[in-house]
Amino acid sequence: MVSGPGTINGTCVLQNGTMRPGNLSSPGQIRVNGDLTMNAGSTLDLKLYDGGTHQVTVTGTARLAGQIDLSYLGYTPRAGDSFDVLFYNARQGTFAYENDMFSIGDGLAVQIQYLADRVRLRIVAIA
């Protein structure tokens, strides 16, 4: 388990581990001054708050696999909301979700968007 907030100087490799930025009561950030590798069995454990989210910043390359685990604190998911959760200089791979989307119930899903410098989670309505 890697939990924050805080800074990791150097390469961080998660093998069947969990990264949890921040704490249970407020948004926080883990900064990796180097590369981050999240292997297939790893989890990025994020809390979504009304007005914020946990975040990870990687100054090097983010190598992604594994999954995202979301929970909510004072926030009710709404279609159209988005959260930038992972920032990087370069990225390889993706999280392990078919069509980069996973259901969160109540007719909603999280769409994972891989942008040039970040991962954005967008709440979308599904049929």
Distinct helix (H) and strand (E) counts, the chain: 0, 16
User: What's the domain range around 50?
Assistant: 2-125
Q: What is the pLDDT of residue 111?
A: 95
- Mean pLDDT by runs of 10 across the 127 residues of the chain is 89 94 82 96 91 92 95 90 96 91 91 97 92
**Rounded distance, CA 23 to CA 95, Å?**
22
Q: What is the pLDDT of residue 124?
A: 96
DSSP one-letter string for 42-61? -EEEEEEETTEE-EEEESSE
Q: What is the pLDDT of residue 122?
A: 96
Q: What is the pLDDT of residue 98?
A: 78
> What total number of domains does the chain contain?
1
Residue type, 1: M
